[in-house]
C-alpha cells in the first residue's frame, strides 16, 4: 500500500544485471541505508505491505524528491526473481535519510560500511578509484571469498593438468558480470592464468582464451522483469451451526416448535 492505495501488482526484476544496476543507481544517489531479505513468492505481497507500512517507501521519483526537500527520509524497494529459483523473491529496501529517521525495529546496514556491503550472488557493491576519475565510483566486484576461490581453482587446474576444469573456469571468467570492478578482476585472473601456464607448462599449447570481456550496458526496467498480481481473497464460506434445542425446550415445547416450522414450510410451498 502506497499513499493509502492497495498495490495490486508488483514489478519484479528477472535480469540480474539490471537489478544490480538499479541498486547501484540508488546507492549512488544517497540511498545507502538498507535492509534486505529472501521471501517465498506466495508471501511477497505480505512482506511488501509490511515494508511499505513501516518505512517511507516511494514509487515516484518526483514525490520522493519533494519529500527529501522537506527533510523527510525516502526509500526505494526493489525486487528480484531468479529464473533458476523462481519460488523465491530477493528484495532490498534502500533508504535516503539520517540515522534518527530510520526505524528502530530493523537492523539497518550501510553501503559505505566495508563490513556491511551490499552483496548479491557472489558480488559486492563498493567504491573504487578508477583511473582518470576525480573521486571513487560505485561498482560491483567479486566478493573476497569468491575471487579467492576462482584464483585458487585456476592455479590448481593448471598445476594439476586438469585442462577440462581450466576451460570451465575460463568460461566462468568470461561470464563475469561486466561491471567495471568485476571486469578488472576477471582481466587480472586471465593475466594470472597466462603467467601461471607459462611458468608451469612451458611451451604446451594453452586452451583458447577469448580476447574480450563484455560490458554491462544500460538497460530499461520493463523489458527485464515482469509483474506479479496480488492474489484474490475470497470471503470464508458460511458454516452451518447445529444447536441442540433439547437443551433449551421441554419435549412439548419442542414438538410445538417443529410443527410450526412444518406448517410454515407447507404454506411456503403452496405459495410458490
The whole-angstrom separation of Cα 27 and Cα 109 is: 12
pLDDT at 263: 45
The whole-angstrom separation of Cα 124 and Cα 122 is: 7
The whole-angstrom separation of Cα 97 and Cα 116 is: 17
Q: Are residues 163 and 121 in the same domain?
A: no
Tell me whether residue 53 is in a domain.
Answer: yes
Cell of 249: 425446550
Q: Are residues 100 and 189 in the same domain?
A: no
Q: Are residues 90 and 224 in the same domain?
A: yes
Q: Are residues 16 and 104 in the same domain?
A: yes
CB 103 within 8 A of CB 54: yes
pLDDT at 260: 61
pLDDT at 220: 83
Q: Are residues 129 and 27 in the same domain?
A: yes
pLDDT at 216: 87
Tell me whether residue 25 is in a domain.
Answer: yes
Tell me whether residue 81 is in a domain.
Answer: yes
What are the b/e assignments for 129-148, b being 16+ CB within 10 Å? eeeeeeeeebbbbbbeebbe
Tell me whether residue 257 is in a domain.
Answer: no
pLDDT at 14: 96
Tell me whether residue 270 is in a domain.
Answer: no
The whole-angstrom separation of Cα 47 and Cα 79 is: 11
Q: Are residues 46 and 167 in the same domain?
A: no
For the chain, what is the domain count?
2
Q: Are residues 93 and 197 in the same domain?
A: no
Q: Are residues 76 and 182 in the same domain?
A: no
Which of 229, 249, 265 is the endpoint of a domain?
A: 229
Q: Which domain holds residue 152?
A: 145-201
Full pLDDT tens readout for the chain, 272 residues: 465 668 899 999 999 999 999 999 999 999 999 999 999 999 999 999 999 999 999 999 999 999 999 999 999 999 999 999 999 999 999 999 999 999 999 999 999 999 999 999 999 999 998 877 788 999 999 999 999 999 999 999 999 999 999 999 999 999 999 999 999 999 999 999 999 999 999 999 999 999 888 888 888 888 899 999 998 766 666 555 565 656 666 666 656 655 665 544 434 444 44
Q: Are residues 187 and 88 in the same domain?
A: no
Tell me whether residue 259 is in a domain.
Answer: no
Q: Are residues 126 and 18 in the same domain?
A: yes
CB 172 within 8 A of CB 150: yes
**φ, ψ at 16 (rounded to 5°):** -60, -45
Tell me whether residue 247 is in a domain.
Answer: no
What would the pLDDT profile of 103-121 be if each residue is shown by its tens digit? Answer: 999 999 999 999 999 999 9
3-state secondary structure the chain: CECCECCCEEEEECCHHHHHHHHHHHHHCCCCEEEEEEEEHHHHHHHHHHHHHHCCECCCHHHHHHHHHCCCCEEEEEEECCCCCCCEEEEEEEEECCHHHCCCCCCCEECCCCCCCCEECCEEEEEECCCCCCCCEEEEEECHHHHHHHHHHHHHHHHCCCHHHHHHHHHHHCCCCCCHHHHHHHHHHHHHHHHHHHHHHCCCCCCCCCCCCCCCCCCCCHHHEEEEECCCCCCCCCCCCCCCHHHCCCHHHHHHHHHHHHHHHHHHHHHC
Tell me whether residue 125 is in a domain.
Answer: yes
Q: Are residues 185 and 224 in the same domain?
A: no
The whole-angstrom separation of Cα 3 and Cα 16 is: 29
Q: Are residues 130 and 184 in the same domain?
A: no
Amino acid at each position: 500500500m502506497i499513499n493509502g492505495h492497495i498495490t495490486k501488482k508488483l514489478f519484479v526484476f528477472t535480469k540480474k544485471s539490471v537489478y544490480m544496476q538499479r541498486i547501484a543507481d540508488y546507492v549512488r544517489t544517497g540511498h545507502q541505508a538498507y535492509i534486505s531479505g529472501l521471501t517465498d513468492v506466495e508471501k511477497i505481497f505480505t512482506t511488501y505491505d509490511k515494508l511499505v507500512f513501516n518505512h517511507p517507501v516511494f514509487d515516484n521519483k518526483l514525490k520522493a524528491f519533494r519529500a527529501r526537500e522537506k527533510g523527510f527520509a525516502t526509500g526505494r524497494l526493489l525486487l528480484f526473481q531468479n529464473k533458476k529459483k523462481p519460488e523465491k523473491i530477493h528484495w532490498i529496501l534502500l533508504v535516503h535519510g539520517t540515522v534518527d529517521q530510520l526505524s528502530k525495529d530493523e537492523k539497518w546496514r550501510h553501503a559505505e560500511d566495508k563490513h556491511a556491503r551490499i552483496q548479491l550472488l557472489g558480488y559486492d557493491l563498493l567504491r573504487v578509484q578508477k583511473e582518470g576519475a576525480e573521486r571513487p565510483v560505485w561498482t560491483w566486484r567479486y566478493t573476497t571469498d569468491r575471487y579467492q576461490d576462482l584464483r585458487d581453482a585456476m592455479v590448481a587446474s593448471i598445476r594439476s593438468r586438469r585442462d577440462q576444469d581450466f576451460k570451465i573456469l575460463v568460461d566462468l571468467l568470461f561470464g563475469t558480470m561486466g561491471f567495471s570492478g568485476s571486469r578488472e578482476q576477471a582481466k587480472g585472473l586471465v593475466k594470472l592464468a597466462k603467467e601461471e601456464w607459462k611458468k608451469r607448462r612451458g611451451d604446451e599449447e594453452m586452451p583458447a582464451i577469448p580476447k574480450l570481456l563484455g560490458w554491462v550496458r544500460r538497460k530499461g526496467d520493463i523489458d527485464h522483469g515482469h509483474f506479479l498480481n496480488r492474489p484474490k481473497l475470497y470471503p470464508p464460506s458460511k458454516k452451518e451451526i447445529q444447536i441442540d434445542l433439547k437443551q433449551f425446550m421441554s419435549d412439548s415445547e419442542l414438538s410445538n416448535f417443529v410443527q410450526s416450522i412444518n406448517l410454515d414450510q407447507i404454506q411456503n410451498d403452496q405459495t410458490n
